[in-house]
């Protein structure tokens, strides 16, 4: 009986011991988990937040990143600098960074960029408070200061972590400065400006009056080309020989005989004129007789010297009167030509005429057209009439082209991109409307008939925004809804931003230096 009682007591003690041991293990695990959570929370609390800022000066753009400023803590400032003309990074120059308020001034200077376009400096503030952060860049004669106000220096890490407020936009697209600098990239601040209303139409390039010369034969004979490369399109200089009319006998005429005949007539007339001058001085003949002799002498002189200027033993030289290019050749080598027959046309091509056909529905606006912008599709260039020293020479007072159009004629200087007979787009400027938002065509992205622009929200951050467009002048487009002054948009490099937006979510936002 005693043995049974002992066994029962032993079993009860064993069960109690097992239960107590299991409870201790569970408590130990829970303590470890709580300790891990506390350590994790403690780690998050010691992480000092970061901030960034983007500002434009007169000639430079600044974008910097840094941890928030804390007393006694070193903050690494990564400052990006690029110019505002081509938006390329600076390669040289000294940078002074200062943290300033009424009582304190903490500064540090970097003699040159850490790498192209980027300065890295360490700043360790000593007193808490509100400051302004000043970046002073110096290179040769260029000195520019960019000042950023309301920069807070926190007393300690706990204050920085709990009181710093960071804002972010989940729709922002990240595109790094280093990427921008490698491409053709540019942004522009929006301003209200005057804008010309336009009429879009088609124009034709025509030759201007007086810009062509017809080269004709001076005598009868066989035409020979002066060189093997006398072809349409060949440039020629004024006075350069193009053709020769052969001196061989053709029919009953010989060029050498013509030369001798004109020479003899000139010499005889000269002798007679000289003799009559003496007789007039002696009052043997009248002044009327002398005047008649002078007229004959002048006429024979012109005939003789004109022929002599182009005469050689091989034939009569035919040259261009103007510089330009050969536009048309009417004859073939060896062909017989008569005196006065057209041989070729030389076009100076320095001035051209553009005929813009205005649709009849704009008839009440044709007389308000004052200039134009021309889009030349075969050169992919857009140029204004002012750039071509252009002017309106005529506005038709009647309807032409089967009663559908009213032509306007511009005379312009040919800059080498205008080809006679080609068709171009014309944007005819009429009245001015004020206080308009206008952006370059390159700033717009079209998707299924909807237009968008990219707004720069920070140095390396952009957002996509839908806009509604108005008229275009061939270079710029009027924005009716979607943009406001002072915003900065991307005007070059929009496709790169679009590609960057497609990769959003695949890569982490931000980067390290």
State mean pLDDT over 358-379.
90
Residue 265 or residue 430, greater confidence = 430
Q: How confident is the model at residue 92 (pLDDT cuts 50, 70, 90)?
A: very high
The pLDDT assigned to 363 comes to 87
The pLDDT assigned to 339 comes to 83
The pLDDT assigned to 61 comes to 96
pLDDT tens figures, 483-503:
999 999 999 999 999 999 887
Q: Is 245 inside any structural domain?
A: yes
Same domain, residue pair 2 and 94: no
Angle between helices 287-310 and 255-281 (to 10 degrees): 150
Same domain, residue pair 57 and 41: no
The pLDDT assigned to 62 comes to 97
Same domain, residue pair 3 and 101: no
The pLDDT assigned to 450 comes to 95
Domain coverage including residue 5 = 1-45
Contact assessment for residue 230 and residue 322, using Cβ atoms and an 8 Å cutoff? no
Same domain, residue pair 121 and 193: no
Count of residues making up the chain: 513
C-alpha to C-alpha distance for 215 and 236, rounded to whole angstroms: 12
Same domain, residue pair 157 and 200: no
Residue 70 in this model has a pLDDT that exceeds 70: yes
Residue 59 in this model has a pLDDT that exceeds 70: yes
Same domain, residue pair 324 and 404: no
Q: Which of 199-203, 218-222, 455-459, 463-467 has the lowest mean pLDDT?
A: 218-222
Residue 97 in this model has a pLDDT that exceeds 90: yes
Q: How confident is the model at residue 14 (pLDDT cuts 50, 70, 90)?
A: very low
**3-state class (DSSP) for residue 116:** coil
**CA gyration radius for the chain?**
44
State mean pLDDT over 260-282.
80
Same domain, residue pair 10 and 143: no
**3-state class (DSSP) for residue 175:** coil
Q: How many domains does the chain have?
A: 4
Residue 151 or residue 269, greater confidence = 151
Residue 257 in this model has a pLDDT that exceeds 80: no
Q: Which of 8-12, 436-440, 502-506 has the lowest mean pLDDT?
A: 8-12
Residue 4 or residue 423, greater confidence = 423
Same domain, residue pair 372 and 466: yes
Same domain, residue pair 200 and 159: no
Q: Is 389 inside any structural domain?
A: yes
- Pairing state between β 193-207 and 423-440: antiparallel
Residue 137 in this model has a pLDDT that exceeds 60: yes
Same domain, residue pair 312 and 393: no
The pLDDT assigned to 183 comes to 93
Element (H, E) at 319: strand 315-319
pLDDT above 70 as % of the chain = 84
Q: Is 218 inside any structural domain?
A: no
Residue 431 in this model has a pLDDT that exceeds 50: yes
Residue 333 or residue 114, greater confidence = 114
Q: Is 219 inside any structural domain?
A: no
β-pair partners for 355: 204, 409
The pLDDT assigned to 247 comes to 60
State mean pLDDT over 468-483.
94
Element (H, E) at 173: strand 173-174
- Pairing state between β 94-100 and 75-83: unpaired
Q: Please state, rounded to an integer, the average pLDDT across all residues of the chain.
A: 83
What are the start-end ranges of the E strands in 208-267?
212-216, 221-225, 235-236, 241-246
Contact assessment for residue 49 and residue 166, using Cβ atoms and an 8 Å cutoff? yes
The pLDDT assigned to 489 comes to 97
Q: Is 315 inside any structural domain?
A: yes
Q: Is 346 inside any structural domain?
A: no
State mean pLDDT over 71-94.
94
Q: Which of 9-13, 75-79, 161-165, 269-273 has the lowest mean pLDDT?
A: 9-13
Residue 207 or residue 30, greater confidence = 207
CA distance readout (Å), 480 to 196, 342, 432, 490: 14, 58, 16, 18
Looking at mean pLDDT, say which of 294-303, 339-348, 489-498 comes out highest: 489-498
Q: How confident is the model at residue 317 (pLDDT cuts 50, 70, 90)?
A: confident
C-alpha to C-alpha distance for 253 and 265, rounded to whole angstroms: 18
C-alpha to C-alpha distance for 110 and 75, rounded to whole angstroms: 15
Residue 327 or residue 133, greater confidence = 133
Q: Is 200 inside any structural domain?
A: yes
Candidates 417, 431, 425, 512; CA nearest to 474 is: 425
Residue 252 or residue 337, greater confidence = 337
Q: Is 220 inside any structural domain?
A: no
Residue 180 in this model has a pLDDT that exceeds 80: yes
Q: How confident is the model at residue 287 (pLDDT cuts 50, 70, 90)?
A: confident
Residue 327 or residue 91, greater confidence = 91
């Amino acid at each position: 009986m005693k043995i049974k009682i002992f066994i029962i007591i032993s079993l009860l003690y064993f069960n109690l011991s097992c239960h107590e041991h299991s409870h201790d293990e569970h408590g130990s695990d829970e303590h470890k988990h709580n300790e891990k959570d506390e350590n994790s929370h403690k780690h998050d609390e010691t992480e000092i937040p970061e901030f960034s800022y983007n500002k434009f000066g007169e000639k430079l753009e600044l974008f910097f990143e840094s941890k928030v400023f804390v007393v006694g803590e070193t903050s690494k400032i990564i400052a990006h600098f690029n110019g505002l003309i081509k938006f390329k990074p600076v390669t040289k120059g000294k940078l002074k960074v200062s943290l300033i308020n009424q009582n304190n001034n903490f500064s540090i200077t970097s003699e040159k960029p850490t790498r192209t376009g980027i300065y890295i400096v360490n700043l360790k503030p000593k007193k808490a408070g509100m400051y302004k952060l000043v970046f002073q860049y110096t290179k040769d004669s260029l000195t520019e200061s960019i000042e950023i106000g309301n920069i807070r220096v926190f007393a300690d890490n706990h204050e920085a972590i709990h009181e710093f407020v960071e804002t972010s936009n989940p729709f922002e697209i990240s595109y790094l400065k280093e990427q921008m600098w490698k491409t053709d990239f540019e942004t522009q601040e929006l301003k209200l400006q005057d804008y010309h209303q336009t009429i879009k139409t088609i124009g034709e390039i025509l030759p201007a009056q007086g810009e062509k010369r017809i080269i004709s034969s001076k005598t009868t004979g066989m035409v020979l080309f002066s060189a093997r490369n006398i072809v349409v399109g060949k440039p020629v200089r004024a006075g350069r020989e193009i053709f020769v009319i052969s001196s061989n006998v053709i029919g009953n005429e010989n060029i050498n005989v013509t030369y001798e005949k004109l020479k003899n007539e000139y010499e005889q007339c000269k002798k007679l004129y000289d003799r009559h001058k003496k007789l007039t001085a002696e009052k043997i003949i009248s002044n009327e007789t002398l005047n008649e002799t002078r007229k004959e002498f002048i006429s024979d002189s012109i005939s003789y010297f004109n022929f002599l200027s182009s005469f050689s033993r091989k034939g009569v030289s035919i040259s261009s009167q103007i510089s330009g290019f050969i536009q048309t050749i009417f004859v073939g080598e060896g062909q017989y030509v008569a005196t006065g027959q057209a041989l070729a046309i030389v076009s100076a091509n320095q001035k051209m005429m553009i005929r813009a056909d205005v649709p009849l529905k704009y008839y009440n606006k044709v007389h308000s057209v004052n200039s134009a912008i021309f889009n030349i599709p075969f050169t992919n260039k857009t140029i204004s009439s002012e750039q071509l020293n252009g002017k309106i020479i005529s506005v038709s007072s009647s309807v032409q082209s089967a009663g559908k159009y009213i032509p306007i004629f511009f005379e312009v200087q040919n800059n080498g991109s205008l080809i006679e007979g080609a068709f171009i787009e014309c944007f005819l400027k009429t009245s001015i409307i004020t206080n308009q938002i206008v952006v370059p065509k390159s700033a717009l992205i079209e998707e299924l008939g909807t237009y968008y622009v990219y707004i720069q929200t920070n140095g390396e951050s952009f957002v996509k925004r839908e806009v509604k467009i108005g008229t275009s002048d061939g270079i710029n487009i009027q924005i009716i809804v979607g943009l406001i002054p002072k915003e900065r948009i991307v005007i070059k490099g929009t496709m790169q931003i679009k590609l960057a937006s497609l990769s959003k979510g695949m890569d982490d936002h931000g980067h390290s230096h």
